[in-house]
Chain A
Amino acid sequence: MPRFILQRLLALIPLLLIVSLLVFSLVLLIPGDPAYLLAGEDATPEEVAAIRTEMGLDEPVLVRYGKWLIAVVQGDLGTSLFSDQPVLDVILERLPVTLSLAVAAILIALTISIPAGIVSGTRAGTRIDRAVTVGSSIGLALPNFWLGLMLVLVLAIWNPWFPATGYTPLSESLADWWRHILLPAFTLGLSASAILTRQLRGAMIEVMQLDYVRTARAKGLPHRRVVAKHALKNAAIPMVTILGLQVNGLLGGTVIVEQIFGMPGIGQLAVASVFTRDLPMIQGVVIMAVFVAVLVNLVVDISYGYFNPKVRPR
C-alpha cells in the first residue's frame, strides 16, 4: 500500500508541472501590464521600466518561468501586490476556514445522502422513495447563492438562531465554530447530498438484485445486515467516484458561499485578489486549489482499494 501511494504521488509530478505552466501563463494572458499598475497613474516611462527590471519582467518568458517554478517548489509563492505579505502566509492563514467549510459540507452531504439513498434504494417505488426523489430534485435545483441568502434571512435575521456572517476557528470554540459553519456548510453541501442520494439509490437498487445479496439472505442474515454490509459496501463504489468529483465542485462553491456568509476563506481571497489584480495571490490560490483537488482524487483512488479488493495493489 505505501508503495502504491508513493507511485500515485510520483505520477502527480507531470500533472503539477502542466498546471504550473498554465498558472504562470496567467501573467502573460491577462491584459494590462502589472508594472504600470504598480507604478501608478502618473509614473514616467522610466519609472515603469525600472519597476519592470526590478520584477524581472524584461527577461525571456522561459527564464521567468524557471525562476518562478524554483521559488514555488521551495514554498515561495511570491508577495502580494496588494498587502505586501507573503502569498503563502496569507493562504495558510485562510485555508483552515475553507477546509473546515468544505469538510463540514461533505459531512452534511454524507449524513443526508447515505440514509436517504439506502432507504429509497431498498424501497424503490414506494411513497418514501418518491419523497426522497422529489427532495433530491429540489436540492439539485436550488442555486446555492439563493439558498444561502434565504437561510440567512430566515434563520439568522428573522429568527436570530445563527450568526449571519463571520467565522470562529475550531481551536477557539467548538460550539461557536459549529454555529458559524452550519448554515454555510448546509448551503454548500445540499446539492452534493442530492447528487449522492441519487447515485446511492441507483446503486442500491442494482446491488440488491445481485446474486450475492440473495446468498446473504440465504445464510439467514437479518435484513439490516444484508443491506448495511453486503449491499452498501458494493453500492458505495460509484458513490465514492461521484464524491471525489463533488468535492472539487464544492471547493469552487466556497467562492460564492464565503461571500454570502462573510467568511475569511480562500474563496473570498480569490475574489478580492481578482478585483485588485493581485496576480501572485491569484496564482497562489489556483495552485493551492489544484493541489487540494489532486489530493482529494488521490484519497478517492486509495479508498477504492477498501471498497473493491479487486483493484487493491499487492
Chain B
Amino acid sequence: MTAAAPILSVERLSVEFLTDRGWATVVDDVSFDVARGETLGLVGESGSGKTVTSLAIMQLVPMPPGRFSGGRILFEGTDLVELPEKGLQRVRGNEIAMVFQESMTSLNPAFTIGDQIAEAVRVHRGIGRRPALDRAVEVLDLVGIPSPRERVHAYPHEFSGGMRQRAAIAMALACEPKLLIADEPTTALDVTVQAQVLTLLRELQQRFGMAMLFITHNLGVVADICDRVAVMYAGQIVEVAGVDALFQAPGHPYTEGLLQAMPQLGRRGEPLAVVPGVPPMPWAMPAGCRFHPRCAYAEPACTAGPPKLDTTRPGQASRCARSASITLRGSD
C-alpha cells in the first residue's frame, strides 16, 4: 500500500504546548505516511497527541499556547509548516479537508447549512452564489440528506446529530479534497448512526479515491474502515502496522492492551481487561520507554533509554525494546 509517493508525509513532527509547568511536548517526533487512496487510522487514548497531530497537518494548532518544535509535513511534496498563510488557505478545505468530532459545535449556529457548504466552494472555485448553492445541494444529496433542496436552507440546530455529521462531511467533500482528515467523526453519535456514517465515509472514499486519516480511540472502528494503523501513546507513535497484522499479531504491549480491552460479544460475565495505570502527563514523562510503568512485560532494561521505532516485520514497526523476545496476543 505504501509504494508510490505518499500524498502526505509527516516527518519527525514535534509540537509543544505552554503549560503552567513550562513547555510540554505533546507530539514528539511523530512520522508516518499516508498513501493515495489509503485510510490510515491514528489510534490512541485521550491526550495521546492524535488530535494535535491532525490539527498540525492543517496548520490549525492554536499558537499560542502551541508551537512547532521541529519536523516537516509534506503534502504532495510541499512542506505545510513552511507554507505561508495564503498558500495554506488554498490547501485547507480544497486539497485537505477535515471533519471534526462534535458536529453540534463545529457548525456555525448563525448560518444555514447550505451557506456554510457553499462558502467553501465559492472561495476555492471562485464561482457565484447560485452555482455554489447548487453544489451544496448536490453534496447534501451525496451524503444522504433527504430532500436536500429544502434542507440546504436549514440551520444546524434543525438537524439531528447524525444529519449534522453528514452535513459536516458534505462540507468537507464539497471541493473534492485529496485527503480527508476525520477526527473521531463518529464518537458523538449513537451506535446505529455511527455505523451509517462509517459506511458513508467508506463509500465516498472509494468513489472519490481520497486518502483518509482517520483518528479514533475505538479499535472496532479501525477494523471497519482502516487499511493501516498508527498507534500513539504519550505523544509518540508506538506501533505502525497493517490492520490485519495489528489485530492478529500486535508488535507493542500497549497495542495488545488496547486489543484486550475491547469489549467483545460472547464474553458475558467476564471482567473487561484494562491497561493498568494512566497515561503520563507531558511534563512528567517516564525515562526510557514511556509505557514501561504500565507494561506487563517491562524489565529493568526498559528504563535505560528511549526505544526506537524499529521494523519488526515487513510493514510493521514497533517502539519496544523487547519486541523480538516477547509474543503478544492479538484479538480473538
Choice from B100, B110, B157 contacting A233 with Cβ under 8 Å: B110
**Cβ contact within 8 Å between B100 and A215:** yes
**Cβ contact within 8 Å between A212 and B120:** no
Choice from A219, A229, A310 contacting B171 with Cβ under 8 Å: A219
**Cβ contact within 8 Å between B93 and A220:** yes
Tell me the complex Cα distance, A211–B164, Å.
Answer: 14
Cβ of B98 under 8 Å from chain A:
yes
Tell me the complex Cα distance, A206–B171, Å.
Answer: 24
Flag A198-213 by CB within 8 Å of B: 1 or 0 each.
Answer: 0000000000011110
Residues of B within 8 A of A310 (CB): 109, 155, 157
**Cβ contact within 8 Å between B108 and A212:** yes
B166 to chain A, nearest CB (A): 15
Q: Known contacts being A220-B123, A221-B120, A221-B123, is A215 close to B92, with CB within 8 Å? A: no
**Cβ contact within 8 Å between A220 and B155:** no
Flag B93-126 by CB within 8 Å of A: 1 or 0 each.
Answer: 1100110101001111111000000011001100
Choice from A215, A219, A223 contacting B85 with Cβ under 8 Å: A223
Tell me the complex Cα distance, A309–B89, Å.
Answer: 29
Choice from B93, B109, B110, B157 contacting A219 with Cβ under 8 Å: B93
Flag A205-238 by CB within 8 Å of B: 1 or 0 each.
Answer: 0000111101111111111010001100110000
Choice from B91, B93, B108, B155 contacting A230 with Cβ under 8 Å: B108
**Cβ contact within 8 Å between A218 and B123:** no
Interface residues of A in 292-314 (CB under 8 A from B): 307-310
Cβ of B43 under 8 Å from chain A:
no
Number of B interface residues at 8 Å Cβ cutoff, please give it: 30
Cβ of B262 under 8 Å from chain A:
no
**Cβ contact within 8 Å between B106 and A211:** yes
Closest to A221 in B: B123
Tell me the complex Cα distance, A211–B188, Å.
Answer: 15
Give the number of A-B contacts (CB < 8 Å). 79
A296 to chain B, nearest CB (A): 23
**Cβ contact within 8 Å between A220 and B100:** no
Q: Known contacts being A223-B85, A308-B110, A309-B110, is A211 close to B105, with CB within 8 Å? A: yes
Tell me the complex Cα distance, A25–B106, Å.
Answer: 55
Tell me the complex Cα distance, A229–B116, Å.
Answer: 11
**Cβ contact within 8 Å between B157 and A220:** no
Number of A interface residues at 8 Å Cβ cutoff, please give it: 23
Tell me the complex Cα distance, A156–B309, Å.
Answer: 78
Residues of A within 8 A of B89 (CB): 220-222
A101 to chain B, nearest CB (A): 33
B113 to chain A, nearest CB (A): 11
Cβ of B129 under 8 Å from chain A:
no
Residues of A within 8 A of B93 (CB): 218-221
**Cβ contact within 8 Å between B106 and A214:** yes
Cβ of B231 under 8 Å from chain A:
no
B58, B102, B110 pick with most chain A CB within 10 angstroms: B110
Interface residues of B in 235-286 (CB under 8 A from A): none
Tell me the complex Cα distance, A215–B171, Å.
Answer: 10
B69 to chain A, nearest CB (A): 22
B92 to chain A, nearest CB (A): 4
**Cβ contact within 8 Å between A218 and B105:** no
Closest to A232 in B: B110
Q: Known contacts being A223-B85, A309-B155, is A217 close to B106, with CB within 8 Å? A: no
Cβ of B90 under 8 Å from chain A:
yes
Q: Known contacts being A218-B60, A219-B123, is A211 close to B155, with CB within 8 Å? A: no
Residues of A within 8 A of B108 (CB): 212, 215-216, 230, 233-234
**Cβ contact within 8 Å between A220 and B90:** yes
Which 6 A-B residue pairs are closest in the complex by CB-CB distance?
A: A220-B93, A220-B92, A219-B93, A211-B105, A212-B108, A219-B120
21 contacts between A and B (CB under 8 A): A211-B102, A211-B106, A212-B108, A214-B106, A215-B107, A215-B168, A218-B92, A218-B93, A218-B98, A219-B93, A219-B171, A220-B88, A220-B124, A225-B119, A225-B123, A230-B108, A230-B111, A233-B110, A309-B109, A309-B110, A309-B157
Given contacts A219-B93, A220-B124, A230-B111, 13 further A-B pairs with CB under 8 A are A209-B62, A211-B105, A211-B106, A212-B105, A212-B108, A214-B60, A215-B107, A221-B89, A229-B119, A230-B110, A309-B155, A309-B157, A310-B157
Binding site for B on A (CB under 8 A): 209-212, 214-223, 225, 229-230, 233-234, 307-310
